């Protein structure tokens, strides 16, 4: 049994969520024509189709760029600390791609490992994710190479599939998704939207993991990643990258402790207080990024830290992304590229 909703009714529902005080995040066209996930002020801003992937990711819904974790005041020689309540505002992400939603269960491992991050967990519990199954993809997409696909349900609470004549099939995936669309859809047993096969598989993750285990010191890292500028655009827009730094911002009277996004691609990311930097050159930083995503995180948490969204490649000023790097690694492993 399929359930459907007309696009106009869906947009009315978005306006209803906004009127109820919910935060709604979805793809919008920025001033320069780039599609970005951003908070909506009205459903008219929402762009559900006509693009492959937004230039950023939905991780900001659960892991904002900057977040105050407590404040402090100096009273003479005493310090007064004040907790900041986690943000539990109900949030609906609509129009995310399945490769974005799939990052959330992967991030759950990290934010609930040695320390349970109450800020992340509060936002995650308050967030409902409605994805749109992909009907188009580009050369940068490789979801099928990391075990996902155009209608992968991991991390989605409900999924919309574009049906003919201005309708969407609505597939509830979790209780949250069921509750969100309860009473809003129409039964339509005759509608069953076919799922695209998605991009062809481009590499085997087992081969990649084997290469990573055996070639930590390989000169291939230097050759493959030489053009990287260390700008961090790949990490900031990646749905699964989660590096952060904690800094104090304030003056002699007090201030706040803030968690800010960071990136392992920045030259100063690993600089010690002594001045020594164990990752002194960019090739070592790129090696870390790939090793972390395809060997270290899977070994630790049983999940690949990449959903194949291709955002890192699309955003890279020198067209280097995880996909190019993995394809080059696969070619080195096959012997098709010689490392000098």
Nearer to ligand SF4, 146 or 258 (CB): 146
Residue 143 as a binder of ligand SF4 (CB under 6 A): the answer is no
Residue 298 as a binder of ligand SF4 (CB under 6 A): the answer is no
When binding is defined by CB under 6 A, the residue of 34, 81, 125, 229 that contacts ligand SF4 is: 229
Nearer to ligand SF4, 4 or 320 (CB): 320
CB of 307 to ligand SF4, least distance (A): 4
* Cα 180 → chain centroid: 22
Q: In what order do the strands lie in the sheet with 78-83?
A: 78-83, 66-75, 254-261, 244-251
Give the HSE-up count for residue 195: Cα atoms under 13 Å, Cβ half-sphere: 15
Give strand pairing partners of 266. Answer: none
Residue 149 as a binder of ligand SF4 (CB under 6 A): the answer is no
Give the CA radius of gyration of the chain: 22
Residue 93 as a binder of ligand SF4 (CB under 6 A): the answer is no
Residue 288 as a binder of ligand SF4 (CB under 6 A): the answer is no
Size of the site for ligand SF4 (CB under 6 A): 26
* Cα 325 → chain centroid: 19
CA separation, residue 163 to residues 9, 102, 188, 189, 288 (Å): 14, 23, 11, 13, 43
Tokens found for residue 11: 């947009």
Residue 56 as a binder of ligand SF4 (CB under 6 A): the answer is no
CB of 273 to ligand SF4, least distance (A): 24
**Spatial separation of the C-alpha atoms in residues 329 and 337, rounded to whole Å:** 9
CB of 75 to ligand SF4, least distance (A): 44
Within residues 307-336, the interface with ligand SF4 by CB under 6 A covers: 307-312, 315-318, 320-322
Residue 212 as a binder of ligand SF4 (CB under 6 A): the answer is no
> Under DSSP, is residue 58 helix (H, G, I), strand (E, B) or coil?
helix
Residues making contact with ligand SF4 (CB under 6 A): 228-234, 238-240, 265, 293, 306-312, 315-318, 320-322
């Amino acid at each position: 049994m399929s359930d459907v909703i007309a696009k106009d009714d869906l947009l009315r529902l978005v306006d209803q969520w906004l009127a109820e005080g919910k935060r709604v995040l979805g793809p919008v066209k920025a001033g320069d024509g780039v599609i970005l996930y951003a908070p909506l002020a009205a459903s008219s801003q929402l762009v559900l189709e006509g693009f492959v992937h937004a230039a950023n990711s939905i991780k900001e819904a659960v892991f904002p760029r900057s977040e105050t974790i407590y404040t402090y005041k100096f009273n003479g020689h005493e310090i007064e600390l004040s907790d900041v309540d986690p943000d539990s505002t109900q949030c609906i992400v609509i129009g995310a791609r399945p490769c974005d939603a799939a990052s959330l269960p992967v991030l759950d491992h990290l934010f609930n490992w040695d320390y349970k991050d109450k800020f992340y967990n509060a936002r995650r519990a308050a967030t409902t994710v409605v994805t749109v199954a992909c009907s188009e993809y580009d050369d940068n997409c490789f979801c099928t190479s990391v075990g996902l696909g155009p209608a992968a349900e991991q991390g989605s609470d409900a999924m919309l599939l574009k049906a003919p004549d201005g309708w969407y099939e609505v597939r509830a995936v979790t209780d949250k998704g069921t509750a969100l669309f309860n009473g809003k859809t129409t039964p339509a047993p005759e509608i069953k939207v076919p799922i695209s096969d998605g991009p062809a598989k481009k590499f085997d993750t087992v081969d990649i993991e084997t290469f990573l285990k055996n070639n930590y010191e390989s000169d291939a890292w230097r050759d493959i990643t030489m053009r990287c500028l260390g700008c961090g655009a790949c990490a900031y827009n990646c749905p699964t990258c989660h590096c952060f730094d904690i800094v104090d911002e304030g003056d002699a009277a007090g201030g706040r402790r803030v968690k800010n996004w960071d990136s392992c691609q920045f030259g100063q990311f690993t600089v010690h207080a002594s001045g020594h930097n164990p990752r002194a050159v960019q090739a070592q930083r790129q090696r870390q990024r790939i090793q972390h995503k395809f060997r270290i995180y899977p070994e630790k948490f049983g999940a690949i830290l990449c959903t194949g969204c291709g955002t890192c490649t699309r955003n890279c000023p020198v067209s280097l992304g995880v996909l190019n790097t993995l394809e080059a690694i696969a070619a080195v492993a096959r012997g098709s590229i010689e490392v000098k």
